[in-house]
A and B are shown apart, each in its own frame.
Chain A
Amino acid sequence: MLKTRLIPVLLLKNGQLVRSEDFSIHQIIGDPVYEVKRFNEWNVDELIYIDITQGEYSLQRRTDHKTKGLEGPLDILDEVSKTCFVPLTWGGRIRSFDDAAERFRRGADKITLNHALFETPDLVDKIAKRYGSQAVVASVDVLRHDDGRYEVFTGGKDTAKGKDPVKWTKELEAMGAGEILLQAIHKDGKGTGYDIDLISSVSAAVKIPVIACSGVGTYEHYAKAVDAGASAVAAANIWHFKELSDRNGKRALQRAGVNVRL
């Protein structure tokens, strides 16, 4: 039987691992190269890295670690992919086919698109033709307005797209996306649990797998997204602030009756 996937989302900004809140506050929490071995040894089912740097890079490097100096932000991908033997997704700053091709060449198994889904929607098909539709993950950032209305955003909280998440994810499915990474801006960094209504409405609307993200504060939150219809459960911050977050996350899912790979 197919297992429910547990997936860490690792956020990079200017070459550093960051913790995110509200899609706007980003605290540096570590050096991604230093952490490669630890992350690759986690008993998780996939890894997702997203480079959330906006605009020009200002690569920040710590000098107190014995790690190789990085020339550019994609050098991290080279380091990760050498010893990553679970599917590896890389996202952020992918605007063209060549951007995507470079990430695949450096060892990504899938890429995520967000901004490009609006600007150059034919990119989905172009990438899917060459690398397969399973390699294209559409990242969808949703904000719940105070009146309860859901709206799709891009570039953090800056740009409202005037689109309803259910309609938008159906469009993405028709465009040829292989999976949906569903994020809720209003839940980011809050630790109060997933937006279950959002997950269940999107999961019911599309046939492609939905990866639920945003809001996990305790391991018990994971199973709630599975109940709501998510094919995979993801989280970012919890991986950095708790010990044994891989096996404890899996055990909590198992206790809730979810079939996982232990």
Chain B
Amino acid sequence: MLKKLHKIGIRLARPDILFFCLPWLMVLLVVGTVAQRDLGLFRAEQLFFSSWVFWWGPLPLPGGALTLTLIFINLCAKFIFKSTWSWYKSGVILTHFGILLLFIGAIFTATTAEEGYMTIPEGWEKSVIQDYHKKGFYIFKNEQLIASYEISDLVEGQHIVLPDTPVSLHIRNVCQNCSFAPTPENQKAGKHGLAEKITLTARPLNPQNEANMAGITFDVKGAEEDENGFYASTEAAPHAIHISVKEDDYRLQVQREERPLPFTIRLIDFQRDFHPGTMMAKAYRSDIEVLDGEAHWPAHISMNHPLRYKGYTFFQSSFAQTPAGEATILAVVKNTGWLFPYIASIVIACGLLLHLAIRKGRSKYE
């Protein structure tokens, strides 16, 4: 059994795997990079780098995830079954170990990391983070989430029934990226809320995924007479749709996925410094307060100086002008594998330096 395992290991450690996988990875890298111009980073990443297989016309081709997995297996097998454990090869072994660490860190990050952002106007506090990409249609009953649908799963003509009620929603239109136009006067009859003011129509996706504004339109049937009709909801406008059934309030809303934070962040002040006489930003800085239970303390977040607390890291990402005033936009990341690249980079550097030093010493000796 061990012999068989060893044999498989030796085969998996063959240098041919690396020799043919690396050029393919480079091709993916070039194609995926150039494609970002038209597809945007998010879609190009999904298509070329995060995919196991992607289709080029009728031809299935290995994606970045599959290629990297093959390289990882090849490196593992090489490390375990084919490493020459000698002083002369110690630099190489250390370098390979560092790369393995980097891979392990990447796997950790890919499987466990959570990314999102918070937009907090000055003086406000928030304890939820919003996802950059996941968008959904959410149904709350008395402010308790009872159902959610990813926008990409909704289709025209779909029926959604509000649980335990005679009320049903008939999806009329779904757009991943909506354009907004005023609703003509002669078309306002039977429309409610946002739909009375604006009409949503689909437009081509923006390469920058964050710029796409999803929305849906639907008919409500089976509710009170004055609440039946045509509705619209979009993530671009914070207008929730409220439908009353008996004593219960149902809130319907298209929004980005929200995740709760185990503490609260309050923005005290946001500052932008410009290089004098220009509109070029010199520094961004958010003076915040962290509120965790009874405890609260001030903290500062600025470019290159994030705040780390309870496994979450808050980065100064951007800013916005909101109806509530100037707001900071903080990128929020929860990544248990964040230390791996730091350790891996030190190990790789040491390994390469050691290898060069040993080679130099040996060539001198020879």
The judgment on whether A and B are partners is no
Chain B interface (Cβ within 8 Å of chain A)? none
| Residue positions of A touching B, CB distance < 8 A | none
